[in-house]
Amino acid sequence: MEQKRSLKIIFFTIFLNLMGFAIILPLYPAMLHYYLPTEAQEISFVGQFIRVCEALAESIGHDNSLFMTSVVFGCLLGSMYAFLQFIFAPIWGKLSDKFGRKQILIITLTGTAISSLLWCVSAKFELFILARMLAGVMAGNLSVASAAAADVTSKAERAKAMGLVGAAFGLGFLLGPAIGGIASKLNLLAVIWVLFQFKETLPAEKRYASKVKKPLAGLGINETIQIPAIRKTNLTYFVFILAFSGLEFTLSFLATERFFYTATQVGYLFLFIGSILIFTQGFIVRRLTPLLGEKTMAFAGIVAGIVSFNIIAFAHDQITFFLGSGFLALSVGLASPSLTSLVSLYATEDTQGRYLGFFRAAGSLARALGPLAAASLYFCWGSKMTYLLVALVLLWPLSMIFILPKPLKEEPVK
């Protein structure tokens, strides 16, 4: 009973984080089309940057220089959010190993609620950016929620728990674009729920009391025999998310450029993607992982990504485009929870938060760099070449899956 209640709260926490991330994705093309002409007239760093981008786009030969500038600017905003998440994911994770999961969840959920309130009242572009920065800092608590899910499940049940975590990702991705203004109220509700209903999942005697290290420090420290496996898994996840996040951010711009989608139509696209994510992570991962194993599921997810990027590159009708987008959702839905589960299984009880923090940090760094790389490719060579090149990048994590060791799922003898 206690396990189910804890998992429900963890589910809701992750859902809110992903909703905060996805809430802006369909709005980027229309929002930046509104902001950028005004900002370009200002004598500021942002205004100068916009004018340089437009001039560069015109020199390359783009017909719509403002649109190509919005691609770059949108990806910069997304990278800022992810970079802050990268910095703070291992910090929150390590602090939760030291002080417990509950206290850190309360702090970060309160911060997320404040960021949502700031966005709701942000008439100025600067206040909007501040709200996104605060949201990025607090979104680092995904490592804490993942560690709490690992705390309350056995190793044999770990894949199912991470599938539930993945379903929360999908639901947040699904409803984020639609919920908008009521996000702050939901975050405040989550704070109250954690405060009064969430029972600490990490007992004091199992807490790890060392200093917080730099975000990727743990990738190169051979503290236990399991560290090399965690490092390889993190690198695999990093390259996969590097590829996925770049195309995730450019997808709404591609839909606008190629099919003239409005913000509402882009919202329907993400509704479709989110629905497949929920089904994949909430049903397929939880049912098939115990039978096939985490490595096989991660391999299948990366293959689906390669298929997706090739389909989207050549999609010139909406049916083909939605087919490619469906494979995109299937890809991250299979690979992300499977790789998360592997790290959790490789780690010991008292280092769940720390190593899942490093894992989330690797993903966040990839989310910070991926949009910048994809935007640069999109800006220079267009959408088709961008998606084909990124499909080639996925061959590296696909090969890495073969050298990951098989995790032990038996519980240690007490």
Supply the pLDDT for residue 354: 73
* End-to-end CA gap in the chain: 23
**Residue 208 pLDDT:** 57
**Angle, vertex CA 200, rays to CA 83 and CA 225, nearest 5:** 60
Q: Following DSSP, what letter does each residue of 263-305 receive, concatenated?
A: HHHHHHHHHHHHHHHHHIIIIIHHHHHHHH-HHHHHHHHHHHH
Tens digit of each residue's pLDDT (9 = 90 or more) over 247-261: 888 898 899 889 998
Mean pLDDT of 336-348: 87
- Give me the mean pLDDT over the 303-315 stretch: 96
**Rounded to whole angstroms, how far apart are CA atoms 270 and 254?**
13
Cα 374 to Cα 381: distance, rounded to the nearest angstrom: 10
Please return the burial class of 376, using the count of CB atoms within 10 Å of its CB with bins 0-12, 13-18 and 19+.
Answer: middle
Phi-psi category of residue 293: left, alpha or beta, with phi > 0 → left and psi -120 to 50 → alpha = left
What's the confidence (pLDDT) of residue 225? 33
Domains of the chain in sequence order: 2-198+217-403 (1.20.1250.20)
Predicted local confidence at residue 221, as pLDDT: 38
Question: Which has the closest alpha carbon to 302: 273, 332, 323, 277?
Answer: 332
**pLDDT (average), residues 125-154:** 80
pLDDT in tens, 51-99: 888 888 888 877 778 778 778 877 787 788 888 888 887 788 778 888 8
Closest among 410, 380, 361, 401 to 146, alpha carbons compared:
361
Please check the confidence at residue 123 and state whether its pLDDT lies above 80.
no
The Cα–Cα gap between 84 and 178 comes to 25
In b/e form, how buried is each residue of 303-323, taking b as 16+ CB within 10 angstroms? bbbbbbbbbbbebeeeeebbb
**Amino acid in position 170:** G
More confident residue, 217 or 220: 217
Over residues 140-147, the mean pLDDT reads 77
Tokens of 338: 């499977």
Rounded to whole angstroms, the Cα distance separating 285 from 157 reads 12
Distance CA 324, CA 97 (A): 40
Distance CA 29, CA 177 (A): 13
- Four-point Cα dihedral 13, 18, 20, 24, nearest 10: -170
Residue 21 has pLDDT above 50, yes or no: yes
Give the pair of three-digit tokens for residue 307.
Answer: 């298929």
Contacts of 341 (CB under 8 A, 6+ apart): 158, 159, 161, 162, 289, 294
Instruction: Please state, rounded to an integer, the average pLDDT across all residues of the chain.
Output: 79
Residue type, 160: K
What is the C-alpha to C-alpha distance for residues 37 and 22, in angstroms, rounded to an integer?
24
Residue 258: per-residue pLDDT: 93
pLDDT given at position 224 = 39
- Reading the block at residue 121, the tokens are 């009242």
pLDDT per position as a tens digit, 164-174: 776 676 677 66
Distance CA 244, CA 214 (A): 25
Is the per-residue pLDDT at 218 higher than 70? no
What's the rounded Cα separation, in Å, for the pair 383 and 398? 23
pTM over 0.85, yes/no: no
H or E element at residue 1: none
Alpha-helical regions (H) of 23-100: 28-40, 45-60, 65-99
CB 298 within 8 A of CB 243: no
For 379-414, how does the pLDDT look when each residue is reduced to its tens digit (9 = 90+)? Answer: 888 889 999 999 999 999 999 999 998 887 654 433
- Cβ-count burial 138-155 (b if 16+ within 10 Å, e if not): bbbbbbbbbbbbbbbbeb
For the ranges 4-8, 29-33, 69-73, 84-88, which has the lowest average pLDDT? 29-33
Contact partners, residue 160, CB within 8 Å, separation at least 6: 153, 286, 289, 290
pLDDT at 219: 42
Amino acid at 157: E
Give yes or no for a contact between 309 and 127, defined as CB atoms under 8 angstroms apart.
Answer: no
| Residue-level pLDDT at 301 | 96
